[in-house]
Amino acid sequence: MAEVQVHTWEPNSNSGKPLFALAEKGVPFDYHYVSLTDFEQHSPEYLAINPAGTVPTMIHDGHLFTESTPMCEYVDRAFDGPSLVPADPKQRYWMRWWGRQTDINAAALSVLGWHTFLGPMARQKSPEELEKLIARIPTKERRIAWATATKATFTDEQLGNARKQLGEWIATLDARLAVSPYLAGPDYSIADTVAFANFYALPMTVPEYANKANAPHYIAWLKRIYARAATMATFNNSRSLGKRAFEIAAKLEAEGE
């Protein structure tokens, strides 16, 4: 058994952050797959590990970590390997600023994710099974949220607003990456880890905004991170989303500089 245990879903959004960070540091870990589409994060077995029923969960040295971005900073400080936190205090500030902005703008992405992926998969289950799965969610607020999400169908206006917000966010990323190869400065940092985990698939999700003509610096940043050995190693461990990631990487490479 490895020193580090990670219970999480795919290398995607919050679920993927510690997977990318551990791979960047070269830390061996045991990957315990938690299927969100099967509500395994609310199973009795998982709730015994993390009573909040959220992913990811990381266990190291007898301690439990459940917040994905701070988890990455812990990984950086707890293990040897290349630093993912800038030494310069101003760059460290920007690393955390971009991490915060990533979390804010990921909300629009979740609307599209539920519309195209999670919602339809959840609705493949019978109403009776869904009711049982939702009933075991530990908090009332999250039971209401999941019940709403599994039944929700978004209007064209809501979907359009989400796509527009992502387009504005891509423009913000592109402007920053026009003056710096990475978000916090000249070197790869946790800011890039958490932003990439959320926004690596935008060329497929919102191709009208995430393309070489409209956002060349964002596209070049994606290519740099896709080319990292840790990124490809992480996607190789994927069960369902890795194929999409490899398709995006191949498309970006084929388009050239």
Q: 3-state SS string over 197-238?
A: HHHCCHHHHCCCCCCCCCCHHHHHHHHHHHCCHHHHHHHHCC
Residue with tokens 């599994």: 150
- Nearest CA-CA partner of 246 in 178, 187, 206, 200: 200
pLDDT band at 119 (very low <50, low <70, confident <90, very high): low
The pLDDT value given to residue 127: 79
Q: What is the pTM of this model?
A: 0.89
For 65-95, write each residue's pLDDT tens digit: 999 999 999 999 999 999 999 999 999 999 9
Fold for the domain defined by 4-78: Glutaredoxin (3.40.30)
Instruction: With CA atoms as reference, report the closest residue to 25 among 88, 96, 73, 86.
Output: 73
Annotated domain spans of the chain: 4-78
Q: Is 59 helix (H, G, I), strand (E, B) or coil?
A: strand
The whole-angstrom separation of Cα 56 and Cα 207 is 28
**Helical axes 140-151 vs 127-135, angle rounded to 10°:** 160
φ, ψ dihedrals at 143, nearest 5°? -65, -45
